Chain A
Amino acid sequence: MMGDKVEPRIGVFVCHCGHNIAGVVDVAAVAKMAMSLPYVVFSTDYMFMCADAGQQLIRDKIKELNLNRVVVASCSPRMHEPTFRRVVEESGLNRYLFDQVNLREQVSWCHMRQPKEATEKAMDLVRMSVARAAQLQSLPIKSVNVTPRTLVVGGGIAGLRASLDIAERGFEVVLVERLPELGGHVRKWTHLFPADESGAQIIGPLVKDVEKHRSIKVMQNSEVVEFGGYVGNFTAKIKNHETGRTKSVDVGAVIMATGFEPFRPFGYYGYGESPDIITLAELQELPPRADLLRPSDGKKVNKLAFIGCVGSREAGKQGHEHCSRHCCSAVAKAASDLKDKVGEVMILYQDIRTYGRGHEELYRLARSKFVIYSRFPKDSKPDVQVTANGITMRWYDVLSGDYLEFEPDLLVLASAMVPPGDIAETAKMFGLTRSADGFFNPEHIKLAPLTTHTAGVMIAGAAQAAKNASESVVDASGAAAKAVSLMARGQVEIESTVSHVIPELCSSCRTCVTACPYGAISMDKSREPAVALVTEAKCHGCGTCAAACPSNAIIMYHSTDDQIMAMVEAFLCTPAQVEGGTA
Chain B
Amino acid sequence: MSQSQNETVVPEHWEPRILAYCCNWCSYAGADLAGTSRIQYPPNARILRVNCTGRIDPEFILAALEMGADGVLVSGCHPGDCHYTSGNLKLRARWALLEKVIEQSGVDPRRVRLQWASASEAQIFADGVKELTEQVRKIGPIRSEWK
Contacts and interface: CB of A to CB of B under 8 A. Distances in A.
Q: Do A and B come from one complex?
A: yes
A392 B64 CA distance: 66
Contact of A109 (B17, B36, B54, B86): B36
Interface residues of A, number: 60
A18 to B, nearest CB: 15
Contact of A571 (B36, B46, B85): B46
A523 interface: no
Contacts of A110: 31, 34-35, 38-41, 43, 126
Contacts, number: 165
B67 A548 contact: no
Interface string A103-132: 011111111111001101100110010000
Contacts of B46: 121, 124-125, 128, 571
Interface string A257-285: 00000000000000000000000000000
Interface in A17-49: none
Given A121-B43, A548-B90, A441 B32 contact: no
B46 to A, nearest CB: 5
A431 B80 CA distance: 11
Contacts of A518: 84-85
Interface stretch (A2-10, A52-60, A353-361, A560-568): A560-568
A578 B66 CA distance: 12
A47 B73 CA distance: 33
Given A542-B54, A543-B54, A517 B48 contact: no
Contacts of B69: 568, 571-572
Interface in A384-436: 427-428, 431, 433-436
Nearest to A437: B120
B57 interface: yes
A582 B15 contact: yes
A248 interface: no
Contact of A111 (B28, B40, B55): B40
B75 interface: no
Contact of B32 (A102, A540, A556, A580): A102
A581 interface: yes
Interface string A146-181: 000000000000000000000000000000000000
Nearest to A116: B43
Interface in A475-497: 497
B54 A547 contact: yes
B57 A561 contact: yes
A542 B55 contact: yes
B96 to A, nearest CB: 15
B65 to A, nearest CB: 9
Given A434-B120, A573-B67, A580 B11 contact: yes
Nearest to B67: A572
Given A125-B46, A544-B90, A572-B67, A109 B52 contact: no
Q: How large is the interface on B (under 10, 10 to 19, 20 to 34, 35 or more residues)?
A: 35 or more
A518 B52 CA distance: 14
A447 to B, nearest CB: 13
Contacts of A517: 54, 82, 84-87
A543 B51 contact: yes
A143 interface: no
A569 interface: yes
Contacts of A136: none
B63 interface: yes
B51 A559 contact: yes
A543 B50 contact: yes
A517 B17 CA distance: 33
A326 B67 CA distance: 56
A179 to B, nearest CB: 27
B17 A577 contact: yes
Given A517-B87, A564-B48, A580 B35 contact: no
A577 B17 CA distance: 10
Contacts of B87: 517, 542-544
Contacts of B55: 542-544, 546-547, 556, 559
B51 A105 contact: no
B133 to A, nearest CB: 11
B13 interface: yes
B84 A540 contact: yes
B47 interface: yes
Given A433-B118, A544-B52, A546-B55, A102 B47 contact: yes
Q: Which A-B residue pairs are the 5 nearest by beta carbons?
A: A543-B55, A105-B35, A544-B54, A109-B35, A542-B84
8 contacts: A111-B40, A111-B43, A433-B118, A435-B120, A441-B119, A497-B51, A568-B19, A572-B19
